[in-house]
Every structure is written in structure tokens, then in C-alpha cells.
Amino acid sequence: MNVDSDRRSATRLGRAVRATAERAAITAGRHREGHRQTNWLRDVILGGQDGLVNILGIILGVIAGGGSDTVLLAAGLAAAITESISMGAVGYTSSIAQRDYYQAERAREAKEIAVMPEAERQEIRDIYAAKGFTGNLLESVVDTITANRDTWLATMMDEELHLQPVQTRDVLRAAVVITVATLIGHLIPLLPFMVLPRTPALVLAIVVSALALFAVGVYSALTLVGDWRRSGLKMVAIGLGAAAIGFLVGRLFNSAGS
């Protein structure tokens, strides 16, 4: 009676393991979509913060160095265009490198599965044993995963190497998002100088930049994790602190010229 009960339990266990694996395969697309949303936020913060801090530093440097409004606008617009394109290109090439690295590691892992399958099975066993699986449940998980070569390979890439595939559309999206975010970040502190005299424009540029940085920090904390106040203030401190270096450099050149 106990043997029959154990056999029925093992059968139910096998069905549960297979059902879990099938559900994981079905939801894999949605899980990867969540990663893409996180990357989207990362790209916006990367481009926007870099553009805003960079142009604010240039503005403060030009003013501290005694440059005219014409020089300020010319330098700002030139930096906005060139760095936006440069940042987009960097985002593209880094994503391409990440994609190529994933493909190279996947090819290497596929070769290892083909050449030494028992060693790779043992790696799957070790991975899930470390998660707390034991006995028949552990062996059922290993058998289910290694029964399908694609599932086996995907599990090794995710669980052992902690790598996610990078799609071509994601590479292009990253480049476009970073380019646009960088350009917008540049324009935020620059626009006041196009419509206002220098002093009120400078005050407005600093205030708007601080608010924009704070908003990015708050959104990042609310979307990911962390205290929104601390995240916002941290973003403001880092951004304005970096921009202040441009002011100090401008003052040094101005003093040297005097």
C-alpha cells in the first residue's frame, strides 16, 4: 500500500515538474519583456542624465570663463548634436558586443552539451541541488530539463552563466532611446538661454535641471527599488556636483587669462 502510494506520488510529482517546465516556457517571453522594460529605463536615465549634466557643465564653464551668449549657445548646440549621436553609437556598439558575447557563450555551451553531456547534466543537477531540490524531485527536474536540448541550453545560459539573449530590435531600440534621451537632456538646461537674459536663464536652467534629475531619481526608485526621496536627492547631488566641475574649470581658465 505504501509502495503504491509512493508510486502515485512520484507520478503526480512528475506531472507537476513537467507542468512547471511548460509554464516556464510559456511565460519566458513575458519574463524577457520585463527585462526589456528595465533596460528601457536604464537607457533613458543613461542618456538623459548624461546629456543634462554635460550641457549644464558646459554652460557653467562658458559663463565662468567669460564667454558670450553666442559662444554659450554655439557650444551647447554643438555638444547636444555631437554627444547625442555619440551616445547613441555607444549604446548600439555596447548592445552589439553584449549580443555577440551571448551568442559566443551559447555556441560554447552547446558544444559542451554535445561533447560531454554527463558533465553538463551534473551541472544542472548541482544548480538545482543548490536551490534545495533533493532525491526524486531533483532527478525529475534534471530529466525534464535535459530531455529537450533547447531547454537544456537555455537553462545553462540563464542559471549557470546568468546571460539573457539580446535581440536585434533591442539593439536598435537602445541606440534610438539613448540618442533621443541624450538630446532631450541637453535641451533642458539650454532652452532658457534661448528666450531669457543670462542671469534668469542660468537660475532657471539650474532649477529645471535639479527638478529633472530629482524626477528621474524618484521614477527610478518607484519603478525599481529604493526610497524615492533618497534616490531623487542622490541624483541631484551627483548631477549638479558633476556640472559644478565645469564651473570650476571655467573659473580656472578665466583666472589664468586675467
CB 18 within 8 A of CB 204: no
pTM of the model: 0.69
Domain boundaries, the chain: 48-253
Sequence-distant contacts of 175-178: CB under 8 A, at least 24 apart: 175/88, 175/89, 175/91, 175/92, 175/95, 176/88, 177/40, 177/43, 177/44, 177/47, 177/91, 178/43, 178/46, 178/47, 178/87, 178/88, 178/90, 178/91
pLDDT at 36 over 90: no
- Residues 163-190, mean pLDDT to the nearest whole number: 89
Task: Evaluate if residue 98 carries a pLDDT over 50.
Answer: yes
Q: Which three cell numbers stand for residue 48?
A: 538623459
The amino acid sitting at 239 is G
Q: Looking at the predicted structure, is the pLDDT value of residue 228 above 90?
A: no
In angstroms, the CA 124 to CA 118 distance is: 10
31 vs 99, residue with greater confidence: 99
CA angle 78/83/84 to nearest 5° reads: 105
pLDDT value, residue 147: 94
Please give the mean pLDDT across all residues of the chain: 82
Per residue in 56-83, pLDDT (tens digit) is: 999 988 888 888 889 999 999 999 999 9
What pLDDT band is residue 248 in, cutting at 50, 70 and 90?
Answer: confident
Rounded CA separation 49/63 (Å): 21
**Is residue 63 within 8 Å of 197, Cβ to Cβ?**
no
pLDDT surpassing 90 at residue 126 = yes
Say if CB 144 and CB 133 are below 8 A apart: no
Please answer whether residues 178 and 46 qualify as being in contact, where contact means their C-beta atoms are separated by less than 8 angstroms. Answer: yes
pLDDT of residue 187: 93
Longest CA span, the chain: 99
Asked if residues 69 and 192 have their Cβ atoms less than 8 Å apart, the reply is: no
Taking the C-alpha atoms of residue 206 and residue 219, their distance in angstroms, rounded to an integer, is 20
Instruction: List, as one string, the DSSP characters of 108-144.
Output: HHHHHHHH-HHHHHHHHHHHHHHTT--HHHHHHHHHH
pLDDT at 48: 85
pLDDT score of 217 = 85
